[in-house]
Amino acid sequence: MQSNLPDPSLIRGMTQRRLGRRDALRVSGLSAFAMALAACGVKGTGSTTPSAPAPDAVAKYWAGKTSNGTVNFANWPLYMDPEQPELKKFTKATGVAVKYQEVIQEMGPWFAKVQPQLAAKQSIGYDLMVITNGIQFKQFVDSGFLAPLDHSKLPNYVANADPSYAKEAFDPGNVYTIPWTSGMTGIAYDPKKITRPITKLADLWDPAFKGKVGMYSDTQELGNFGMMALGIDPAKSTPEDWKKAAEKLKEQKAAGQVRNYYDQSYVDALGKGEVWITQAWSGDIFQKNVSDGTDFKFVIPEEGGTIWTDNFAIPITAQNPVDAIKLMDFFYEVENAATLAEYINYVCPVPAAQAKIKEHAAAASGDDKSALEAVAASNLVFPTQADYAKLHYFRDFATPAEQQEYQSIFEPIVLA
């Protein structure tokens, strides 16, 4: 069997894709968000709870819809094996042809591109798309641009998805979306430099690591850790909470703890020994260990980490929604979830895929065997229930003004 893990050149591409997706959530992109909001005429409602569909919305949407034998699928780059083995398997099993395109680079531009057609009740040319939780997600929902899902058409999802996903704050009950994959923000450290276990956010303030701590330049990621260090849930935070967190982070900086505020380059800084301990994204650390043979550790601190999720969604004007939801459910068959996770190495929403990957590893040999065993054993791909319990979602900003306020509080820490 061929290795399902990407070569180092693809890993670098994955990291860049990850950064682009995070850019869609980061508040330094405020101008793009504001322009998108202004251009689209979308205003925040002041609530982070998604708009609920009418009680009969599901029945009305799906009434009379049938399979057309084709589905157009829009996704992010490098989010599937280039050979597309799962899609070929799907077509063979169902007869439904899939046109797969890696056309989503950032959420802001994607929403701006499809909004005019959706507002005019026209097809965007895609029946299925993968969108990230964040401000544009709320815009899609509040604007009525997403089809409500008929869970009776998702038996594999109902049977195999981790129940934690039904509790996601941005789409409780998975009314409009189900996960494609997720990633976590926590702490990474080099056990060759730090011999004691790292377990708490407070470790980022430990004087023993003075000058060897990496923090994110992404102000939302930075602010989240400041808040969680104080016991504040970022998703429920207020401007007063932001100010308290900023003071906590300023204390860290004034004490000389922080080597630098990094973007994706934190991975290289950790590899070079410039930092010993740093804020980190789970997929980056797993891929770094695979590509470079390092043994960096990734932990979700006791106080918590954050989670982001990329989600399947059907545009309300999709021409082939029955085929789209059939494909969504296909990826929740355990075997298909397993092979996808073997390639992309991000959090798999199907817990039973872990045992399936172990089966694949047992049948493999050499480097393939080792790589598959590493995926199956990784908490970065298969978090435990205890891990999930410690993960928080990002704060949704109801208006550009609210986002500007957040930015004005945390940005000076990075720039000063």
Q: pLDDT by residue (tens digit) across 349-387? A: 999 999 999 999 999 999 899 999 999 998 889 988 888
pLDDT tier at 308, thresholds 50, 70, 90 = confident
pLDDT of residue 144: 96
Give the sign of the dihedral formed by CA 99, CA 21, CA 151, CA 161.
Answer: positive
Q: All domains of the chain, ordered by start, with CATH? A: 68-183+308-390 (3.40.190.10), 184-307+397-415 (3.40.190.10)
What does the alpha-carbon distance between residue 334 and residue 357 come to, in Å, rounded to a whole number? 10
pLDDT tier at 290, thresholds 50, 70, 90 = confident
- The share of the chain scoring above pLDDT 90, in percent, equals 65
Q: Would you give the DSSP letter of residue 52?
A: P
pLDDT of residue 286: 82
Inter-residue contact 38 to 30 (CB < 8 Å): no
Take residue 287 and report the two structure tokens written for it: 């891929």
Q: Taking 90 as the threshold, does the pLDDT of residue 116 lie above it?
A: yes
Higher-pLDDT residue of 72 and 139 is 72
pLDDT tier at 22, thresholds 50, 70, 90 = very low
What does the alpha-carbon distance between residue 178 and residue 166 come to, in Å, rounded to a whole number? 9
pLDDT of residue 187: 97
Q: Residues of 350-375 as b/e, b for ≥16 C-beta within 10 angstroms?
A: bbbbbebbbebbeebeeebbebbbbb
Q: Could you read off the pLDDT of 254-273 as tens digits, one per residue?
A: 999 999 999 878 999 999 99
pLDDT tier at 17, thresholds 50, 70, 90 = very low
Secondary structure in 3-state letters for 242-308: HHHHHHHHHHHHHCCCEEEEECCCHHHHHHHCCCCEEEEEHHHHHHHHHHHCCCCEEECCCCCEEEE
Mean pLDDT, all residues of the chain? 86
Rg (CA), the chain: 21
pLDDT tier at 178, thresholds 50, 70, 90 = very high
pLDDT of residue 51: 61
Q: Taking 50 as the threshold, does the pLDDT of residue 28 lie above it?
A: no
pLDDT of residue 400: 74
What does the alpha-carbon distance between residue 208 and residue 204 come to, in Å, rounded to a whole number? 10
What does the alpha-carbon distance between residue 169 and residue 137 come to, in Å, rounded to a whole number? 12
Q: How many helices (H) and strands (E) does the chain have?
A: 17, 10
Q: Of the spans 40-44, 198-202, 234-238, which averages the highest pLDDT?
A: 198-202
| Cβ-Cβ contacts under 8 Å for 283 (sequence gap 6 or more) | 14, 15, 18, 183, 344, 345, 346, 380
What does the alpha-carbon distance between residue 175 and residue 335 come to, in Å, rounded to a whole number? 25
Which of 100, 137, 56, 78 has its CA nearest to residue 313? Answer: 137
Q: Give mean pLDDT, residues 201-207.
A: 98
pLDDT tier at 138, thresholds 50, 70, 90 = confident
| Cβ-Cβ contacts under 8 Å for 126 (sequence gap 6 or more) | 72, 73, 74, 101, 315, 318
pLDDT of residue 52: 67
pLDDT of residue 15: 37
What does the alpha-carbon distance between residue 28 and residue 38 come to, in Å, rounded to a whole number? 17
What does the alpha-carbon distance between residue 214 and residue 276 come to, in Å, rounded to a whole number? 8
Q: Could you read off the pLDDT of 37-67 as tens digits, one per residue?
A: 333 333 333 334 556 677 799 999 999 999 9
| Cβ-Cβ contacts under 8 Å for 91 (sequence gap 6 or more) | 97, 98
